[in-house]
Structures are given as structure tokens and as C-alpha cells.
């Protein structure tokens, strides 16, 4: 029997290692089902602040969008200056929702923006979703082509993602530029309801750059 420097046999060591493998595997498995991780920082591509929920199989990131970016985007899609201004002043974020589970994972991830809650100044509010805007554009007689771009530009109100699926789209919180808020993100994973709170999200401020005084 070969003894190690700690006085145990190689067989003892092997048995111990197998036990620990089992324990480690259980711990790794638990780690994958742990509570959501909330990240924040500066989005590398947009160079603007982001807030992100990451949990087993799910990733949802909100990236600030400057009102000027929104004005430019929607004017170029055919909206009037007044209509573009309305959207730009409504707190717009770029949103990326992904099912990041491996292909072997059959979980379908679903969400419905109607279930998400915006907490602002002690009040609970809902997001302003595609259907709310559709009513508004009809009343304001926005051009059809512009309405079409708007509809497809927003993150879907309800969506179901299988492994590898994702959407990018605009989410609109109907708040003034610069407003801080918390957001309850809600989704269902194989039918089970899950949620996470993003704290201290801030609508992008409306920056007006004036020419420098001579």
C-alpha cells in the first residue's frame, strides 16, 4: 500500500476524492439554480449605462438610450417632429432578452411585459407597451410606415424563447428623462414564475448641447 505524505493510502485518497466530486457536482448544480445576478455598468457598444438580470438560462439587459438617438431614429422612420418628441421624452431603453440555456435544455422562457412593475417615487406603474402606443398613433394619425417601424422596433409585449433565441427591441417606461426607478422583471421558465428587481435604473437625461460662448 502506498502512503502519501499525509499518512493516508492512495485508495483512501481516491475514495475521498470521489466523495468530493459528488459534493462538488451538487454544488455546481446548485450554483446554476441560484438567485438572479444583477449587473450594471457601461455597455461596450452603446457606451451608455446598462442594468442586467442574469439567471440560469436567462439574460435581460436594459441599455440607456439618449432622447436624441430616439428622436433621430423615429424621424428617419417617418414620424413627425412632435410624435418623435413624444417618444423621446418617454424614457426609452434598448432591451436584449435572451434564452442562454444550452440546446439540451428544453426550458421555454416566456415573459409578458404586462406583469413587469415600475416602482417610481413610491408608486407602482406599468410600462407603455406596443398596444398602448398603437391606440395613440391611430389617434394622432401617424403615417402607416412609421407605425410599422414603431411596432417592430419595440420589444414584443409577450414572447417565448427556446434555447438560443433572443430579441432586441426598445422598451418604453413613460417617465421623464433623468427619472430613477426600480423595475420588477418577471418571466416564466417551464411554467414556473420567476422575478428579479433591477434597482436604481435611470432614464437617460435629455442633453442639449449649445455652442460654446465665444
| Binding residue (CB under 8 A) for other proteins from 40, 163, 179, 195 | 163
Residue 168 touches other proteins, criterion: CB under 8 A: yes
Cβ burial of 30 (10 Å; 0-12, 13-18, 19+) is: exposed
| Binding residue (CB under 8 A) for other proteins from 62, 101, 120, 183 | 101
- Considering beta carbons, is residue 28 or 212 the nearer one to other proteins? 28
The distance of closest approach from Cβ of residue 138 to other proteins in the complex, given in angstroms and rounded to an integer, is 15
| Binding residue (CB under 8 A) for other proteins from 158, 190, 200, 205 | 158
Nearest to 184 by CA among 85, 131, 116, 87: 116
| Binding residue (CB under 8 A) for other proteins from 34, 35, 44, 103 | 103
| Binding residue (CB under 8 A) for other proteins from 100, 117, 186, 202 | 100
Cα 171–175–180 angle (5° rounding)? 95
Residue 19 touches other proteins, criterion: CB under 8 A: yes
- Considering beta carbons, is residue 101 or 198 the nearer one to other proteins? 101
Residue 159 touches other proteins, criterion: CB under 8 A: yes
- Considering beta carbons, is residue 167 or 190 the nearer one to other proteins? 167
Q: Which residues bind other proteins (CB under 8 A)?
A: 6, 13, 16-25, 27-28, 73, 77, 98, 100-104, 144-145, 148-149, 151-153, 155-156, 158-159, 161-169
Amino acid at each position: 500500500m502506498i502512503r502519501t505524505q499525509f499518512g493516508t493510502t492512495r485508495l483512501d485518497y481516491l475514495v475521498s476524492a470521489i466523495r468530493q466530486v459528488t459534493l462538488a457536482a451538487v454544488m455546481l448544480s446548485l450554483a446554476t439554480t441560484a438567485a438572479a445576478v444583477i449587473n450594471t455598468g457601461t455597455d461596450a457598444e452603446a457606451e451608455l449605462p446598462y442594468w442586467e438580470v442574469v439567471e440560469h438560462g436567462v439574460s435581460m439587459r436594459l441599455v440607456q438610450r439618449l432622447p436624441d438617438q430616439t428622436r433621430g431614429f423615429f424621424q428617419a422612420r417617418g414620424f413627425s417632429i412632435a410624435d418623435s418628441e413624444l417618444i423621446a421624452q418617454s424614457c426609452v431603453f434598448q432591451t436584449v432578452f435572451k434564452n442562454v440555456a444550452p440546446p439540451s435544455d428544453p426550458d421555454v422562457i416566456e415573459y409578458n411585459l404586462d406583469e413587469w412593475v415600475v416602482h417610481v417615487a413610491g408608486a407602482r406603474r406599468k410600462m407603455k407597451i406596443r398596444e398602448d402606443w398603437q391606440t395613440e398613433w391611430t389617434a394622432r394619425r401617424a403615417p402607416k410606415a412609421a407605425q410599422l417601424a414603431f411596432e417592430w422596433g419595440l420589444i414584443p409585449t409577450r414572447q417565448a424563447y427556446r434555447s438560443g433565441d433572443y430579441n432586441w427591441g426598445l422598451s418604453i417606461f413613460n417617465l421623464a428623462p433623468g427619472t430613477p426607478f426600480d423595475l420588477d422583471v418577471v418571466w416564466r421558465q417551464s411554467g414556473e414564475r420567476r422575478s428579479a428587481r433591477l434597482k436604481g435604473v435611470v432614464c437617460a437625461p435629455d442633453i442639449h448641447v449649445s455652442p460654446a460662448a465665444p
